[in-house]
Amino acid sequence: MGGNETSVTEFILLGFPLGPRTKLLLFGLFSLFYAFTLLGNGVILGLICLDRRLHTPMYFFLSHLAFVDIAYACNTVPQMLANLLSPAQPISFAGCLTQTFLFLTFAHTECLLLVVMSYDRYVAICRPLWYSAIMNWRVCTILVGTSWTLGVFLALVHLGLLLPLPFCGPQTVNHFFCEIIAVLKLACTDTRINELVVLAGAVSVLVGPFSSIVTSYLQILRAILRIQSGEGRQKAFSTCSSHLCVVGLFYGTAIVTYMAPKSSHSQEQKKILSLFYSLFNPMLNPLIYSLRNAEVKGVLRRVLWKQRSM
């Protein structure tokens, strides 16, 4: 905090300015989505841990994606639900910045994990004979570790620029969590450098990675079209289409939120877009991977059959 200039010690999250009945309806709906998010991603993590057939690089990366999705939801949704059910409770300055830091960490990490997963699919389909040599466990661990390290580092950069800013009022954050742009609007000083760094960060973790994913999948598409076996082609399309759905949902909403011109979306529209990558996407990801993936469905059936026979 900025010494004597900073008088604000807590913030109020405005959330969704709606009537009591609408808030109650949203509370029930979002609570259900939150439960599905935890259950779905928890099941994915459990299946990958329990079944040795899923101890492959692709599912190793998927397990980290599931963990990030759980962390995403746990970081933002409980506070949002509490504010829907009762008058907005204050969040401390430290709590708000912690939420911002964690959100940015998970967002950056998910961006990079999706790139790693696209590279894994590229090697599996375009370089199948070299797959075991290239995607060994040492390489997989380095790729995941690098994703997490860069995610934390980039979040620390934003936090380091945010901490010295003076906040002397108002206290109301016009969002349902401490989203960095919404918090910057409350600073009592020029925040153009912070906003420029946010934009640069968005370009580095959204445009760059998304471009590499598109390039990888163009190569994958060419390789799939050369596969003679109809079954092999269908299996390749199945695993890749699941990943593409997740990439489209995550990158699409994030790019529109952080890279669209300021005047193109109202704050209420940005809140709805934020719901996609903080609640809807984490809920949909396990459904996409389980419904479109024969291996996951097979493992789930075997686990359920064992439970019934016990």
pLDDT tens-digit profile of 194-205? Answer: 999 998 988 888
pLDDT band at 116 (very low <50, low <70, confident <90, very high): very high
pLDDT tens-place string over residues 174-213: 888 999 999 999 998 889 999 999 989 888 888 888 899 9
| pLDDT over 50 (residue 172) | yes
SS3 of residue 199 by DSSP: helix
Burial class (CB in 10 A: 0-12, 13-18, 19+), 133: exposed
**Radius of gyration (C-alpha) of the chain in whole angstroms:** 21
- Compute the distance between CA of residue 270 and CA of residue 181 in angstroms, rounded to an integer: 11
Q: What are phi and psi of 92, to 5 degrees?
A: -65, 160
Residue with tokens 């797959």: 131
Q: Mean pLDDT check: name the lowest of 66-80, 105-119, 231-245, 294-308.
A: 294-308
Q: What is the pLDDT of residue 309?
A: 63
Percent of the chain with pLDDT over 70: 90
Cis check: omega of the bond before 170, within 30 degrees of 0: yes
- The residue among 65 and 50 whose pLDDT is bigger is 65
- Compute the distance between CA of residue 181 and CA of residue 183 in angstroms, rounded to an integer: 5
pLDDT band at 284 (very low <50, low <70, confident <90, very high): confident
DSSP letter string, 116-149: HHHHHHHHHHHSGGGHHHHT-HHHHHHHHHHHHH
pLDDT band at 263 (very low <50, low <70, confident <90, very high): low
Report which residue type is found at 98.
Answer: T
Strands (DSSP E) contained in the chain are 10-13, 90-92, 172-173
Q: Mean pLDDT check: name the lowest of 12-26, 119-133, 288-302.
A: 288-302
For the chain, the 3-state helix, strand and coil shares in percent, each to the nearest 5, are 80, 5, 20
Q: What is the average pLDDT across 236-255?
A: 80
Token representation of residue 184: 């910057």
- Compute the distance between CA of residue 17 and CA of residue 19 in angstroms, rounded to an integer: 7
